[in-house]
Structure 1
Amino acid sequence: MAEQKTKPTEQSVEAFLGKVPSEQTRDDCRVIMKMMEKVTGAPPKMWGPSIVGFGKYHYKYESGHEGYSCLAGFSPRKTAITVYFMLPESERESLLKKLGKYKVSTACIYIKKLADIDVKVLQQVVDRSVKYVKSTYGEA
């Protein structure tokens, strides 16, 4: 089985965020970081070279693929801040429709800046995502 590429590292979260070119994005990431730390009760840790993650869980798919991932995480990308989440379909739409201006994929919310969204709703999304992941996979 291939080795997992995205895993915890010893890289400094503050040093990583300090290299983000946009001051606004750095400030927004620090707000998200404090919120995720509060929700998870875990300190921020770098996962791979570009994801700030909190806590961890072990997953194993029916295919046999397994590994670890962070309970909550985000990454400041060039075009948007990516917030990783996992929600059941029954909760996904009702929460996201209250979020504000964003784009979404299966497991990512793309936010240009925090001023575009309701941060309290983002905290609810992260909180529900963490609870869903824990109830589905447990914690590591």
Structure 2
Amino acid sequence: MTVTNQIKEYLASLPETKRDDMVILHENILHVFPKDSSLWFLDGKDATGKIVTNPNIGYGHLTIHYANGTTKDFYQAGISANSTGISVYIMGLEDKKYLAETYKNTLGKATITGYCIKFKKLQDINLEVLKTAIQDGIKQTS
């Protein structure tokens, strides 16, 4: 099954209100990234098939460099529905305070950590500011 079809199935499986927000968010993030960017779907299962996290939709490409010298290919930005709302991940930022310090006053009702922006509903945040934060993350990690 293609990544696009996995994403469609994932979105269709969500409860209606969360699905609507996730579809709008997905479509908006697709417009933030260049058309030839990588698209990811992580089903949340480990190598044994055990569910270890919520499914994620990822966008772009980032190579993560670990202290032990190994690397891992991953996405630059991702979204995931969870039990309390939606999480947006902006990966690879070196300054873990950057997102909160830059966007806490303009994003809306969200919790912001080093690389995660979490909110209950899309209407709780300013979507244009979120897209700016994602674009900012792309610039910093490209």
User: Considering the TM-score relative to the shorter chain, is it more than 0.5?
Assistant: yes
Instruction: Tell me the amino acid that sits aligned with residue 48 of structure 1.
Output: D
TM-score (norm 2): 0.77
Alignment match, 2:41: 46
TM-score (norm 1): 0.78
Instruction: Tell me the amino acid that sits aligned with residue 33 of structure 1.
Output: H
Among 45, 65, 72, the residue aligned to 2:77:
72
Correspondences of 1:51-130 after superposition (within 5 Å): 51-86=56-91, 87=93, 88=95, 91-92=98-99, 93-130=101-138
Q: Which of 1 and 2 has higher RCO (CA within 8 Å, sep 6+)?
A: 1
The offset of 1:90, in angstroms, is 7.4
Number of residues of Structure 1 aligned to a counterpart in Structure 2: 125
Unaligned runs of 5+ in 1: 1-8, 135-140
SS of alignment partner, residue 12 of structure 1: helix
Alignment match, 2:48: none
Conserved? CA contact 1:36–1:73, under 8 Å: no
CA RMSD of aligned residues (A): 2.0
Identity value in percent: 28
SS of alignment partner, residue 106 of structure 2: coil
Unaligned runs of 5+ in 2: 45-54
The offset of 1:12, in angstroms, is 1.1
Conserved? CA contact 1:40–1:72, under 8 Å: no
The offset of 1:43, in angstroms, is 6.2
